[in-house]
Structure 1
Amino acid sequence: MEWTIWAGFAAGLLISTVTAPVGVSGAVFLLPVQLSVLSVPSPAVTPTNLLFNVVAGPGALWRYRRDGALRGPLARRLVAWTLPGVIAGAAVRVFALPGPGVFRVLVAAFLLPLGTWLCLRTLHPTCVRSNAHGPSAPALAALALTVGMVGGVYGIGGGSLLGPILAARGMPMARIAPATLAATFTTSLAGAAAYAVLALVSPGPVAPDWLLGVAYGAGGLVGGYLGARLQPHLPETALRLLLGTLAAALGALYAAQALL
């Protein structure tokens, strides 16, 4: 058991250091570690991911707040609309998608197009119109609500989807990253609470693995702070390509496993 705690801490630290500069908590990349290495059962893997976001989130957010990057209405709007979506997604995950086979399909369907899209948008930046203001208020509300629901099903809080979508709309990364991490933290807090309640009325491993979730989060707390601090000094293009390639590769792996 001790080695799993240290493995979880190391995974959270490394992943968050890389993903925090682009507004992603890193929970999306913890899924393979949980399912394939540490054998966390499904659907407990989803609330464990949300617990990671809750524990890890303040590290990057504190640094971004200290730098003044959390000012502005974007973070408030994302939080307001992703919050109800993630609660609905938690209910869907427990009562409609409990099996690991279906979950692998969901993982592949999310990661493969996300990674491919991120790589293409990074390699062809001329395809993206510069738009510092991003989507209109109604479009942003619909997007955040939908992403929140997907995030509740998937256990990622929604920031992993919001970041690439807003970046593809031409918004600057320095504005996107703090806002999507704030939305991820808030919705993950609500999602983890929803799973804790659903665990009382649903059979099977629905509650999070508290020990592993806190171990992931402790590593993510340190890694998120480091990533946020390093953001101004890191090449954004290289980071986006790295994230996109990794997401697409993981999506392809889960798609192959689902077909076997």
Structure 2
Amino acid sequence: MHFPVSGVDVHPLLPPLVAFVVAVLTTPAGVSGAFLLLPFQVSVLGFASPAVSPTNLVYNIVAIPGGLGRYIRDGRMAWPLTWVVVAGTLPGVVVGGLLRVHLFVDPRLFKFFVGLVLLYLGGRLLWETTPRARARRGQLAAVERKFKEHVEAARSGTQSRLAAGLPAGAVVRTTAWSLRRVSYEFWGESFSFSPLVVFLLALVVGVIGGIYGIGGGAIIAPFVVSFFSLPVYTVAGAALAGTFATSIVGVLFFMGLGASGSVAVPVTPDWLLGALFGIGGLAGTYCGARLQRYLPERLIRATLGTLVLFLAVRYVVQYLAR
């Protein structure tokens, strides 16, 4: 099948299939999978123009509601965190879009930049699985211990793997919300973060996400989890919601930029290709969000970190070897 906007020729079943697998792997960590689909589009499909960024954002818009709806239904949405992330990333993604068009037009330079971002992200995720990092977690360590005990008790009592995982009562409850501090409870443990710090972080992440075409969730999710020692079970939904909102703004921005005629490079998204990826991602994010309750937090980080680090090293080496 030929896609005239991107110039890609591919079987129509391949994009949704790849997106489904990627989304299942990444959604438990609060990531839509766009950061893995972008290198697939660039390296495998040969879609290397700046239009790949808004196409990736189209994927986010179609795919994320599946996982987001599941997290809301299961009560694992930290809404104050969601609003702060959205407020910070929205202006950042516009700035990032401008930089992508005017500064990172060269695909080689763009690939090197992507590699550096992924190198940081993968290293952070893997570091969080080490004994030294886990020893500093406080309440987060208590959640991990409860998860392990609950799984062992469920399996010994019912001999069913499906009965193991987070219990129905493990939901997010906001206890305090102000401009200085936000606190919430999850599974009997209290967690808190500074809205101002998260806002500034989200602003920077929004710029990076606008350049990379990922909405920013792939970076802010692991950073918030590690920096504030928040359980990934409570951050995943907020990160997806932030990515969804910024992706909408990002697509509108690129459409306006293309309609204005102020840029000499293609920035209009390939709607059909993005929608095909999104259809697979819609099912994948739902399954991934459903799967999260059965996965230990360390496994989520380790799997995602390994994938990200592999791509990061590959991209950086490819750039330096030329």
Q: Which has the higher strand share?
A: 2
Deviates more, 1:216-225 or 1:60-69: 60-69
- Give the Cα separation in 1 of the matches to 2:265 and 2:79: 42
Counterpart in 2 of 1:196?
A: 255
Q: CA deviation at 1:38?
A: 1.0
Whichever residue aligns with residue 114 of structure 1, its letter is: L
Partner of 1:57: 64
Equivalent residue for 1:162, pick from 220, 235, 242: 220
Alpha-carbon deviation of 1:130? 4.4
The residue matched to 2:319 in structure 1 has which SS? helix
Q: 2 CA distance for matches of 1:34 and 1:59?
A: 22
1:208 aligned partner: 269
Residue of structure 2 equivalent to 1:86: 93
Most deviating of 152-161 and 236-245: 236-245
Shift of residue 157, structure 1, vs aligned partner: 0.5
Structure showing the higher helix proportion among its residues: 1
Q: Cα offset for 1:103?
A: 0.5
Q: What are the Cα deviations for residues 42-98 of structure 1, in whole angstroms up to 9, with x where unaligned?
A: 211111111111110100011111112225311111111111111111111111211
Partner of 1:174: 233
- Give the count of matched residue pairs: 260
Which of these residues, 144, 147, 162, is aligned with residue 205 of structure 2?
A: 147
Task: For 1:180 and 1:118, locate their aligned partners in 2 and report how far apart those are by CA, in whole Å.
Answer: 15
SS in 2 for 1:98: coil
Q: Could you say which residue in structure 2 is the equivalent of 1:18?
A: 25
Give yes or no for the alignment of 1:27 onto 2:34.
yes
Q: Percent identity?
A: 43
Amino acid at match of 1:188: S
The answer on 1:43 being equivalent to 2:37 is no
Deviation, 1:99, is 1.1
One-letter code of the match for 1:55? V
Structure-2 separation of matches of 1:146 and 1:9: 31
Any conservation in 2 of the 1:4–1:38 contact (CA below 8 Å)? no
Superposition deviation, residue 102 in structure 1: 1.0
CA distance in 1, matches of 2:81, 2:316: 34
Deviation sequence 1:211-245 (CA, Å, 0-9, x none): 11001110000000011111111232222111101
Alpha-carbon distance in 1 for matches of 2:78, 2:307? 31
Correspondent of 2:291 among 224, 230, 247: 230
C-alpha distance in 2 between matches for 1:4 and 1:122: 38
Larger Rg: 2
TM-score scaled by length of structure 2: 0.77
Instruction: Normalising by structure 1, report the TM-score.
Output: 0.95
C-alpha RMSD of the superposition: 1.5
Is 1:126 matched up with 2:135? yes
> 1:199 deviation in Å?
1.5
251 and 71 in structure 1: CA distance in 2 versus 1, 3 angstrom threshold: closer
Q: Is structure 2 residue 77 aligned with structure 1 residue 70? A: yes
CA distance in 1, matches of 2:33, 2:192: 24
Unaligned 5+ residue runs, structure 1?
Answer: none
The change in CA–CA distance for 1:233 and 1:99 in structure 2 (over 3 A counts) is same
